[in-house]
A and B are shown apart, each in its own frame.
Chain A
Amino acid sequence: MTYLAKPKLLRADAPRNTLGYTRRDYEGAISTLCAGCGHDSISAAVVQACFDLDIEPHRVAKLSGIGCSSKTPDYFLGASHGFNTTHGRMPSVLTGAALANRDLTYMGISGDGDSASIGIGQFAHAMRRGVNMTYIVENNGVYGLTKGQFSATADKGSKSKRGVVNNDTPIDLVALALQLGASYVARSFSGDKEQLIPLIKGALRHRGPAFIDVISPCVTFNNHAGSTKSYDYVREHNDAVNRLDFILPRDQINTSYAPGSLRRIVQHDGSVLLLRKLDKDYDPSDRVGAMNHLQERHALGEIVTGLLYVDTSAEDLHRHLNTVEKPLNQLGDAYLCPGSKALEALNASLR
C-alpha cells in the first residue's frame, strides 16, 4: 500500500488539533519502502505524536544518515526541513543544527547500520554531549538497501536470509545510550503503536538526548525463521517494563488508570508521563537499575521494551555551553561584530 498515492481530498470532519492542523498536515511524501516495512509504522507514529502534541510541523528539523531508515524523514512532516546527511554522521550534523537554533525540535532518524556500525562513534558522542533531540533508531538488524548483510545489532547465532549465521556479539544501543548518559532511553516495537506513540511523545517533550530503539523487522531481508528481529520472534520475546501514556500539561486528569498502578513523571516543560507499571518493581529513574534489568532480561532471551530510563532534570548542550536564549542563527551583525573601536584597542595591545 505504501506506494499508492493518497487522495488529496480532505474530509471536512477530519479531526484537528489545537493549532488547526489535521493529521494530513504532518504527513510527508509517499514512502518508497517495501510494502509492510516496519519503518512506515514508525513514520505513522511520528505523525500521530506530532499531531497529538500540537507541534508546528515547520518548527521541527528532521535529520538522518543513510539507509532505509534514513529515507523515512521524507515520508513524514513534509512541511519540515529535512537533511539526509552522510552514512553514520547524522548526529554531528544534528548537533550543529541544534546549536544554531535552540528553538526548533530536532529529530534524528537512523538505523542499526547507521548508528551501531559506521556511526557508533557519532552516536556515542551525541548522547554524551547532551544534545537536545529525539533520536530514533529503526532497528532491523540488517542492511536493507544493500540487500541483507548483518548489522552490528544482529544477535549472535541469528541467521541471514541466505542462511549465514552471525557469530559476532551484538551491540545493544539501549545499553550504550544508558551508559553514555542519554537522559531518556526507551525501546519499542514498530508493530506496537500503542506503546510507540506515547514513547515518541515523551521523547519530543524531553529536554536532553532522548533515545528510542525501535525494533522494526525488515519484511524483505530479516523476517524469516532463524532471525531474531522478525515480527514473530519479537512478538514472542517482547517483555514490556511499562506502558506509557503521555499527557500534555493542559489535561493531566486521566481517569482510565487506577492510581495505584501509575507512576507519574513530570518533565521539565510540565508535561506528564504516566507509566502504567506492568513490572511492579521497575523504576525508570534508576539508571543503574535500568542497565541491570536490561542485562538480566537479555540473558533470559527477552527483549525489554518500554521507557527504561528518564531523567527529568537533565541539562542539555546549550545549558553546558551557556549559550544565549536567542537562537544563534538569529543574532544580527550588531550582536556579533565587535566593530572598529575594539580593533583599535586590540591593535594597541599587539605593538
Chain B
Amino acid sequence: MSAMKPIQSSNDFVIKFANVNGSGSASANELFARAIMRMGVPVAPRNIFPSNIQGMPTWYEMRVSAAGWLGRRGGCDLMVAMNPQTWDRDIAEIEPGGYLFYDSTKSLPRSRFREDITVLGIPLTEICNREYADLRQRQLFKNIMYVGALTALLDMDFTVVEKLIADQYRGKDKLIDANVNALKLGHDHARAELSCPIGLRVESADGVGEQIFVNGNDACGLGAVYGGATVAGWYPITPSTSVIEAFGSYCRKYRTDPDNGMARYAVVQAEDELASIGIVIGAAWNGARAFTATSGPGISLMQEFFGLAYFAEVPAVIFNVQRGGPSTGMPTRTQQSDLIACAYASHGDTKHVLLFPEDPYECFTLGAQAFDLADRLQTPVFVLLDLDIGMNDRLCQPFDWDDQRRYDRGKVMTAEQLEAGKNFGRYLDVDGDGIPWRTIPGTHPTKGAFFSRGTTRNAYAKYSEAGTDYVYNMERLRRKFETAKKLVPAPIVQRASQPTRFGAIYYGSTSPAMAEAFALLETQGVHVDILRVRGFPFADEVIDFINEHDCVFVVEQNESGQLRMLLINEGEVDPKRLIRVLHYDGTPITARFISGKIADALSEHKVTPIRKQVVS
C-alpha cells in the first residue's frame, strides 16, 4: 500500500491516459471527457500524439477543474497506463499520493511500481478475451471497459455515460448495447474487486452551463462557412488538415442546394501549398471569398504569393495552425512560432494583418471576420491559431451569429457606378484610408478593366517603373495598414485588484493558462495587469498599455519572443521594458509556468523597473 496519503480531490485533478496510437483509445477517452462534462464539471482534454498512424505512444491528458481552468495544469493525479512501452515514464509522472490504473492481466514485479501511489489493477485483457471472440472487438471494448471502471472508481453517475453512448450511436441499437455492456463489465468489476470510490471524485455540478465542447479547427471551418467562403485551395498538413475537412463537411450540410443537390462551394486539394494559395488568390481576385489552411512549412512555401497578394491587393484568408518547424519539426506539437514569418511574409516591404483567436469560439468569430477584413482591406489576413486550440476539444461559449449582419465586401465598384462615370483608378486612394476601389472581372463592357501585377504600375494600374509611382503606392499601403489598426479586433485588458506597475501581454492559446496564472498571482499578492492581443497591426491600446506600466511580461510559446519583437519594432517600445516569458517545449504552456516565472522575476528583483519619464 502507498506510504503516502492518497490525494483527495473532488472535481479538481488531472487524469492521463497512456495509450498506443491506432488502438481506438481516442474515442473512448473522449467519451469519458464528455461524460464528465455532462455532469456539469468543466474538463480540458489534450491529445499528445506522435506523427504516426499506428503503434507509437500517445497520451490523452484530461484536466478536470470545477473552477473552469482550461489551461494545461501539468502533473498527473491518476494515470491510466495502457501502454507497456511507456510504462516507466508514465509511472514516474504520477504525483506523490496519486493513482495508477492498469491492465493487471500480466503480473508485474513490485519493482515496476511505486510505493507512494495507489495501484488499481483490473485484468482487462483477460476479461476481454473471455467475453469477445473478435480481435478488433477485444481491442475496442477494452477501451470502453476502462472507461466503465473509471466511472466506478471516480464515483460518477453511470446513467450519464449510458445516455451519452445512446446519443452517440443513435439509430444503431446493436452498437449501443455492445458498448453499454462493455462499460458495465468494467464498472462492475471495479466495484467488486477494488475499493470504490478512490480519493478522486467527479460530483455533479453546474460549471458547464451553455458552453459547447469543440475543437478550434472545426470552428475555423465553420467560421469560413459563416464568413461566406466559397473556394478553398489546400494541401494536407498536420495540424491544419481538419480545418478543411470541417469546412467540407459543414458545406455539405449547409451549402448544398436543396433543389438540385449542387454545391455552393468548391474545395480543391492542390498539388502543394504554392498551388493552394494560388487558387485562393485567383478566386479572390475574381470576387469569391477564398481561403486556405496550413501550418509553418506551408507558410514558407506560400511566401512569394503572399507578396503578390499584398501588392496586387487581393484579399485572402489563411488559417495557420501553428506547430514546431521545420518540415520534420514536431508536427504534432504546439507552438506560436510563426508570428514573424506571417507578419512580414514574403520579399519586399510587406506587412500583414494577423488575428489571434484564444479558443474555438474565437476561431469561429475571428475566422468569419477575417473574410470581411480581407475584403475591406484587400489584403491577405492570417488567422494564427495553434495545435493546442486547433486539435483539442475545448469548452467554450456557444457559437452565435447576428442574422442582421451582412458581409462587408469592401470597395467593389459596380457596373452601375462605372456607368455613372465614377472615377476608377485601381490603386488610387480616393478617401485617405489607403484602400483603393477594385472591380471584379466581367463587370462592365468598356470600363473598369485593369491588368493586375505587382508594383510596376501607376495608380491606374498602367505599366510604370517610375519611382514616384512606386513611392505613392508604398505610402498608400502604409496608410492602409494604419486603417487596419482600427479594424482588427481590439485587445482585452484585465486589471489586477490593485494598481500595479507591472503588466503582462499574451495571445492565442496561452489565454486559459494566463487567466489562471493571473488568479494564482493575485492570491499570492502579486498584482499584474494583463492584456490579450487579438490582432496585428497593434491597436493603439496595446502600446498605451505598455507605456502605462514600468515593465511588461510578454508571455508566448516560442523561443525567440516573436510577439515581443513585433511590439518593439512596430510600437517602438524600449526592449528593456518587455520581459520574455517563453515556453517552447512543444507542450501547451501552464499557469504554474507563467505564475512561477513572473513571481520569480518580481521577487528576486531580476526586474529593474524603469521609471516612466515624467513629462512636465
Distance of A153 from chain B, by nearest CB (Å):
21
Q: How far is the CA of A124 from the CA of B270 in the complex (A)?
A: 11
Residues in chain B near residue A255, CB distance under 8 A = none
Q: Which of A80, A101, A323, A350 has the most CB of B within 10 A?
A: A350
B268 to A99, Cβ gap below 8 A? yes
Q: How far is the CA of A84 from the CA of B82 in the complex (A)?
A: 57
Given known contacts A58-B449, A93-B285, A104 and B441 CB-to-CB distance under 8 angstroms = yes
Contact of B262 among A322, A333, A338 (CB under 8 A): A322
Distance of A316 from chain B, by nearest CB (Å):
12
A337 to B228, Cβ gap below 8 A? yes
Which of the segments B44-52, B395-403, B496-504 contacts the partner chain? B395-403
Q: Which of A74, A96, A331 has the most CB of B within 10 A?
A: A96
Residues in chain B near residue A340, CB distance under 8 A = 400-403
Residues in chain B near residue A342, CB distance under 8 A = 254
A79 to B445, Cβ gap below 8 A? yes
Given known contacts A96-B283, A99-B268, A122 and B400 CB-to-CB distance under 8 angstroms = no
Q: How far is the CA of A121 from the CA of B286 in the complex (A)?
A: 23
B443 to A58, Cβ gap below 8 A? yes
Residues in chain A near residue B285, CB distance under 8 A = 83, 93, 96-97
B366 interface contact, C-beta 8 A: no
Q: How far is the CA of A86 from the CA of B307 in the complex (A)?
A: 10
A57 interface contact, C-beta 8 A: yes
Q: How far is the CA of A91 from the CA of B305 in the complex (A)?
A: 13
What residue of chain B has the Cβ atom nearest to residue A351's Cβ?
Answer: B212
Q: Per-position contact with B for A301-339: 1 when CB-CB < 8 Å, else 0?
A: 000000000000000011001111100111101011111
Contact of B231 among A96, A104, A337 (CB under 8 A): A96
Distance of B183 from chain A, by nearest CB (Å):
20
A58 to B444, Cβ gap below 8 A? yes
Residues in chain A near residue B304, CB distance under 8 A = 86, 89
B305 to A89, Cβ gap below 8 A? yes
A293 interface contact, C-beta 8 A: no
B445 to A61, Cβ gap below 8 A? no
Count of A-B contacts with CB under 8 A? Answer: 222
Residues in chain B near residue A124, CB distance under 8 A = 271
B255 interface contact, C-beta 8 A: yes
What residue of chain A has the Cβ atom nearest to residue B275's Cβ?
Answer: A92
B284 interface contact, C-beta 8 A: yes
B278 to A83, Cβ gap below 8 A? no
Distance of B100 from chain A, by nearest CB (Å):
32
Q: How far is the CA of A324 from the CA of B268 in the complex (A)?
A: 15
Given known contacts A100-B231, A347-B212, A79 and B452 CB-to-CB distance under 8 angstroms = no
Residues in chain B near residue A59, CB distance under 8 A = 442
Q: How far is the CA of A231 from the CA of B60 in the complex (A)?
A: 69
Q: Give residues of chain B (459-483) contacting chain A, Cβ–Cβ below 8 Å.
A: 462-463
A99 to B231, Cβ gap below 8 A? yes
Given known contacts A79-B445, A337-B226, A97 and B274 CB-to-CB distance under 8 angstroms = no
Distance of A252 from chain B, by nearest CB (Å):
28
Residues in chain B near residue A85, CB distance under 8 A = 278, 281-282, 308
Q: How far is the CA of A94 from the CA of B283 in the complex (A)?
A: 8
B373 interface contact, C-beta 8 A: no
What residue of chain B has the Cβ atom nearest to residue A63's Cβ?
Answer: B282
B440 interface contact, C-beta 8 A: yes
A95 interface contact, C-beta 8 A: yes
Residues in chain A near residue B554, CB distance under 8 A = none
A101 to B230, Cβ gap below 8 A? no
Q: Give residues of chain B (289-308) contacting chain A, Cβ–Cβ below 8 Å.
A: 290, 304-305, 308
Distance of B459 from chain A, by nearest CB (Å):
17
Q: Per-position contact with A for B382-400: 1 when CB-CB < 8 Å, else 0?
A: 0000000000000000111
Contact of B274 among A89, A98, A324 (CB under 8 A): A89
Q: How far is the CA of A39 from the CA of B225 in the complex (A)?
A: 43
Q: Per-position contact with A for B211-253: 1 when CB-CB < 8 Å, else 0?
A: 1111000000010011010110100000000000000000000
A29 interface contact, C-beta 8 A: yes
What residue of chain A has the Cβ atom nearest to residue B407's Cβ?
Answer: A333
Distance of B246 from chain A, by nearest CB (Å):
11
B271 to A125, Cβ gap below 8 A? yes
B212 to A100, Cβ gap below 8 A? no
A29 to B463, Cβ gap below 8 A? yes
Given known contacts A58-B444, A78-B449, A322-B263, A97 and B286 CB-to-CB distance under 8 angstroms = yes
B451 to A74, Cβ gap below 8 A? yes
Q: Which of A61, A92, A325 has the most CB of B within 10 A?
A: A92
Q: How far is the CA of A80 from the CA of B448 in the complex (A)?
A: 9
A331 to B230, Cβ gap below 8 A? yes
Q: Which of A81, A124, A321 has the most CB of B within 10 A?
A: A81
B233 to A92, Cβ gap below 8 A? yes
A125 to B270, Cβ gap below 8 A? yes
Contact of B272 among A83, A121, A324 (CB under 8 A): A121
Q: Give residues of chain A (5-62) contacting chain B, Cβ–Cβ below 8 Å.
A: 29, 32, 56-59, 61
Contact of A324 among B214, B257, B276, B453 (CB under 8 A): B257
Contact of B452 among A57, A82, A101 (CB under 8 A): A82
Given known contacts A89-B305, A324-B257, A73 and B282 CB-to-CB distance under 8 angstroms = no
A58 to B445, Cβ gap below 8 A? yes
Q: How far is the CA of A89 from the CA of B275 in the complex (A)?
A: 7
B263 to A321, Cβ gap below 8 A? yes
A296 interface contact, C-beta 8 A: no
Given known contacts A100-B287, A335-B264, A79 and B401 CB-to-CB distance under 8 angstroms = no
Q: Give residues of chain B (66-111) contacting chain A, Cβ–Cβ below 8 Å.
A: none
Q: How far is the CA of A97 from the CA of B261 in the complex (A)?
A: 23
B262 to A96, Cβ gap below 8 A? no
Contact of B282 among A56, A78, A97, A318 (CB under 8 A): A97
Distance of A127 from chain B, by nearest CB (Å):
11
Contact of A73 among B212, B254, B451 (CB under 8 A): B451
A347 to B399, Cβ gap below 8 A? yes
Contact of B263 among A78, A82, A92, A324 (CB under 8 A): A324
Residues in chain A near residue B271, CB distance under 8 A = 121-122, 124-125
Q: Give residues of chain A (230-250) contacting chain B, Cβ–Cβ below 8 Å.
A: none
Distance of A73 from chain B, by nearest CB (Å):
7
A351 to B213, Cβ gap below 8 A? yes
B279 interface contact, C-beta 8 A: yes
What residue of chain A has the Cβ atom nearest to residue B312's Cβ?
Answer: A83
Q: Which of A94, A95, A121, A325 has the most CB of B within 10 A?
A: A95
Q: How far is the CA of A216 from the CA of B408 in the complex (A)?
A: 46
B288 interface contact, C-beta 8 A: yes
B274 to A92, Cβ gap below 8 A? yes
Distance of B198 from chain A, by nearest CB (Å):
28
Q: How far is the CA of A73 from the CA of B262 in the complex (A)?
A: 34
Q: Which of A61, A63, A121, A329 has the most CB of B within 10 A?
A: A329
Residues in chain A near residue B437, CB distance under 8 A = none
A299 interface contact, C-beta 8 A: no
A81 to B212, Cβ gap below 8 A? no
Q: Mind listing 14 A-B residue pairs with CB under 8 Å?
A: A81-B450, A89-B275, A92-B275, A93-B279, A95-B275, A97-B282, A97-B285, A101-B286, A328-B231, A331-B230, A331-B264, A347-B210, A347-B399, A351-B208
Which positions in A face B, CB cutoff 8 Å?
29, 32, 56-59, 61, 63, 73-74, 78-86, 89, 91-101, 103-104, 121-122, 124-125, 129, 317-318, 321-325, 328-331, 333, 335-340, 342-343, 346-347, 350-351
- The 3 A-B pairs with the shortest beta carbon distances in the complex, nearest first, are A96-B282, A92-B278, A100-B288
Q: A99-B231, A333-B407, A350-B214 are in contact. List 17 more A-B contacts (CB 8 A).
A: A58-B444, A78-B449, A81-B450, A81-B452, A83-B452, A92-B276, A95-B278, A97-B285, A97-B441, A100-B284, A321-B263, A324-B257, A324-B262, A336-B255, A343-B401, A350-B212, A351-B213
